[in-house]
Amino acid sequence: MADELLAYGEYFLAGYVKNFDASPWDRCAEGIITSIRHAEFKINLQMDFAPASSVYCAGSASCHAGFNGYGINVENFYKRVEAAKTPELKKAMLTALEIYKRDSMHGRTGKLYGEFEKTVKDIPVNAGNFFSYFSDWQGHATVDYKTLLEKGLPFIKKSIEKSRQGIAADSTAYVREHHFLDTMERLYDAVVHLIERFTDELKRLCGTDIDGGEKKRAERLVHCFNRMLEGPPKNFFQALQFYHFYTALDAFDNAGRIDANLAPFYCASEMRGETTYEEAVRLLSQVFGIWGGMDLWNMAVAGRDANGQSIANELTLAVLDARKTLKTPKPGLSFCLNDSTPDSFVFRAFDSLAEGTGHPAFYNDNLYVNTLIEMGYPAEDAAGYAFGGCSETHIPGCGAARDSFFNMATALECALHGYFPAMESGKLTVKPLRTKIDSFENFFAHYKKILESMIDAFVEIRNETQKEVSLRCPAMIRSLFINDCIAQKISQSEGGARYSHGLIDVYGTATVADSLYAVDELVFKKRAVSLQELAAILKRNYEGEKDFLHMCLSLPKYGNDDSKADKFAKEVFDHAFGYIKTKTLWNGGCYYGFCASAPGSHVIFGRTTGATPDGRLAGASLSNSAGPTAGCDVSGPTALLKSVTAPRLSLAAGTPVVNLSLSPENLKHEFRPALLSLLKSFFSMGGMQLQFNFTDAKTLIEAQKNPRLYQSLIVRVAGYSARFADLDADLQDELIKRTVHSI
């Protein structure tokens, strides 16, 4: 069966079913190793870099994603079964699928949570719909580019050998640790084999009838791949090619501090006359073009060192200039701004924004570093932080960010409608709230208890899921290329990385804050309705309550520098994110929160969330990221940003994303000093992150009506950018509702 699958191009499955007696962990490892050894790759000699696309079996149904174990595209799988030319091959495919379903995380998820999924359907007010990701999703991380560039690939092999020598003969983990290192060595050999295959194919192309330019590029790549097996790169081009290859091997997740990692090679090559600034921009543009096509999520530039000195350099500018040449939503770009960053670098970043890509987003470098140090990270590691996915903070090469989603508006629903969800014996139960609520303080206390119970349940289920992931689909590439998995002799998924993080993306903070203000004002102060009457009104989605709906909508809202509204936002935010930080991963790491609304799930969660006291109708979008509800910020950009800094944003160390929509004219050169001043003022008040949209509602409405005419329109959605025409209608509507400010 394995041979038939291998011949059919189902490389992962071929390895996965090779040994029926192996554990799921070993099945996964064999599948990943087989995938890498037989990976399909594309070389385009009109380009300077290879590969020109993914190296993972693009046509197969079973795939290995370097950073996230593996998976099967079920729809594509059955198409592949139908396309199989022999009954034996069809049988092999279906048998392999059954083994996968039985032993993989996919099958285990169904067993663990099948009853849960049945239960939540019957829970009133969707009390079970407060989180997502029972799957094998392991989150984002960044491989150790710095070590790979400074010491070269052979250093990894030496690390494996050194770790093996450190195993004590009488160790109780002797067999397990040797087995792990054996697997890492086989994985390393598979990577070497892939490099050798690239080299052989490039040599073959050199011997064919290709033009002089293509032959020159092929010969240069042959030298690059040969050098990769020997040690670190010797010049900027080699360093960038190495970087690109490892990014492709990691399935194009995140590129980390690209300017800091590549700057030493660029400076040396420039001094030797081997490259110029213009050539560096051209080469970076080409690499970013490939990455954009492969949906690479994030890369970061600028920032500071452990001593507080800016590390922004000429290559930072080259990255900015290269990124602005691409009219694509990805790769994402994050600019780490501190007091010592030259203003000229920020103005160059504004040039990139002016191209309409939504990049870069800006990050308060000093606050991030200080927050991470307070959390216990050494200053050097803290200063090197980067972002995964939309904006998930982690330390490149040293840890992962296992992100997942949480809807806090459900806790408010339960408090309003009298239900208390909690885990009992591994199952979610929902019981009626029988305590009489006679004051807002009492109501708020109940809401907090419900939220804490939901976070407890969330963490319990998420921890159980990730524990199963570590046994069934470990991220092998990450285990090879992230510190300190080899030294600790356990996979990154099991907690082998130096730092393990559990990140919770929290949805609906402003929705909850504005709703609590409404409850306090209308139920307990003005006595316009009782709590029971309010619950009934919400249950019927304000039907027949036009005047009361207007009353709810007319109350002050978070986002306008209103002290009363902002007070609720602060209490809601500080409580939720403070409580998340008390939670622990199953393998001993820490949890912390973030607000990125990725990927547009504030709209998705909103669809199953009932009407809320802020005037939001059932099914409508929740508030976006850490900012106000769309359209509720009506007092100008300064008021908006002052409101956002009312909470202690550093509690959400994973990044509290803030979207600011400004008039397109505010990117004209005469407005840029004021834009810089606004950005710096926000950071001085405690803001952590700020990103911009420079598109007005009129343009978005026209784009919604005539998508074919606006295929190139890119908007900043939340922690990411996307083509407006590709977004679903509800998400487009949420973007259109956002207030467009002027400075």
The whole-number pLDDT of residue 132 equals 52
Provide CB contacts within 8 A for 307, sequence distance 6+. none
Burial (0-12, 13-18, 19+ Cβ within 10 Å), 540: exposed
What are 685-688's contacts with CB under 8 Å, separation 24+? Answer: 685/641, 685/642, 685/645, 686/367, 686/645, 686/648, 686/649, 686/650, 687/364, 687/641, 687/644, 687/645, 687/649, 687/658, 688/363, 688/364, 688/367, 688/368, 688/649, 688/650, 688/652, 688/655, 688/656
In tens, the pLDDT along 559-596 reads: 999 999 999 999 999 999 999 999 999 988 899 999 99
DSSP state, 295?
A: T
* Calpha distance 527→371 (Å, rounded): 42
* Calpha distance 531→522 (Å, rounded): 9
Asked if pLDDT for residue 69 goes beyond 80, the answer is no
* Calpha distance 528→522 (Å, rounded): 5
Q: For CA atoms 272, 277, 278, 281, give the dihedral sign.
A: positive
In tens, the pLDDT along 385-425 reads: 999 988 999 999 998 888 888 899 999 999 999 988 888 87
Asked if residues 253 and 142 have their Cβ atoms less than 8 Å apart, the reply is yes
Read off the tokens for 721.
Answer: 């950018």
Q: For CA atoms 458, 460, 464, 470, give the dihedral sign.
A: positive
Residue bearing tokens 């991963």: 585
Return the C-alpha torsion angle 182, 186, 189, 190, nearest 10: -160
Where does the pLDDT of residue 251 fall: very low under 50, low under 70, confident under 90, or very high at 90 and above?
confident
**Minimal CA–CA distance to 156: which of 486, 460, 430, 545?**
486
User: How does the average pLDDT of the chain come out, rounded?
Assistant: 91
Cβ-based neighbour number of residue 200 at 10 Å: 12
CA atoms within 13 A on the CB side of 27: 25
The whole-number pLDDT of residue 190 equals 96
Residue bearing tokens 């599948």: 31
**What's the chain's length in residues?**
743
* Calpha distance 398→256 (Å, rounded): 11
- Tell which wins on pLDDT, 742 or 432: 742
Burial 325-361, CB ≥16 within 10 A → b, else e: bbebbbbbbbbbbbeebeeebbebbbebbeebbbbbb
The arrangement of strands across the sheet holding 590-594 comes to: 140-141, 399-407, 499-507, 590-594
The whole-number pLDDT of residue 130 equals 58
* Calpha distance 189→75 (Å, rounded): 33
Asked if pLDDT for residue 100 goes beyond 90, the answer is no
The whole-number pLDDT of residue 133 equals 43
Read off the tokens for 335.
Answer: 């600019």
Which of 60-69, 535-544, 624-633 shows the lowest per-residue confidence on average (mean pLDDT)? 60-69
Q: Peptide bond preceding 484: is omega within 30 degrees of 0, i.e. cis? A: yes
Q: What is the pTM of this model?
A: 0.94
Provide CB contacts within 8 A for 729, sequence distance 6+. 704
Asked if pLDDT for residue 18 goes beyond 80, the answer is yes
* Calpha distance 551→548 (Å, rounded): 5
Three-class SS string for 541-584? CCCCCHHHHHHHHHCCCCCCCCHHHHHHHHHHHHHHHHHHCCCE
Look at residue 593 and give its three-state secondary structure.
Answer: strand
Q: What is the mean pLDDT of residues 702-728?
A: 93
Residue bearing tokens 């492969």: 294
* Calpha distance 459→131 (Å, rounded): 10
Query: Using alpha carbons only, what angle is made at residue 57 by residues 56 and 62, rounded to the nearest 5 degrees?
Result: 105
Q: What is the mean pLDDT of residues 482-492?
A: 95
Asked if residues 135 and 105 have their Cβ atoms less than 8 Å apart, the reply is yes
Read off the tokens for 481.
Answer: 């290329």
**Percent of residues, the chain, with pLDDT higher than 90:** 73
Tell me how far apart the 2 most distant CA atoms of the chain are, in Å.
86
Where does the pLDDT of residue 481 fall: very low under 50, low under 70, confident under 90, or very high at 90 and above?
very high
Q: Where are the alpha helices (DSSP H) in 17-104?
A: 24-37, 74-83, 87-103
**Minimal CA–CA distance to 458: which of 348, 599, 580?**
580
Asked if residues 62 and 77 have their Cβ atoms less than 8 Å apart, the reply is yes
In tens, the pLDDT along 269-319 reads: 999 999 999 999 999 999 999 999 998 999 999 999 999 999 999 999 999
Asked if pLDDT for residue 213 goes beyond 90, the answer is yes
Strands (E), 278-398: 298-302, 332-337, 361-364, 386-388, 392-394
Q: What is the mean pLDDT of residues 174-185?
A: 96
* Calpha distance 598→390 (Å, rounded): 7
User: What is each CA distance from 713 to 226, 327, 433, 726, 730, in whole angstroms?
Assistant: 42, 9, 49, 10, 17
Written as one letter, the residue type at 265 is F
The whole-number pLDDT of residue 127 equals 47
Read off the tokens for 489.
Answer: 């002799």
Burial 167-185, CB ≥16 within 10 A → b, else e: beeeeeeeeebeebbebbb
* Calpha distance 675→717 (Å, rounded): 20
Q: For CA atoms 587, 590, 595, 596, give the dihedral sign.
A: negative
Asked if residues 31 and 477 have their Cβ atoms less than 8 Å apart, the reply is no
How many contiguous H segments (helices) and E segments (strands) does the chain have? Answer: 30, 19
Asked if residues 595 and 494 have their Cβ atoms less than 8 Å apart, the reply is no
* Calpha distance 147→701 (Å, rounded): 48
In tens, the pLDDT along 105-157 reads: 665 655 555 555 555 555 555 544 555 544 567 888 999 999 999 999 999 99
* Calpha distance 266→274 (Å, rounded): 9
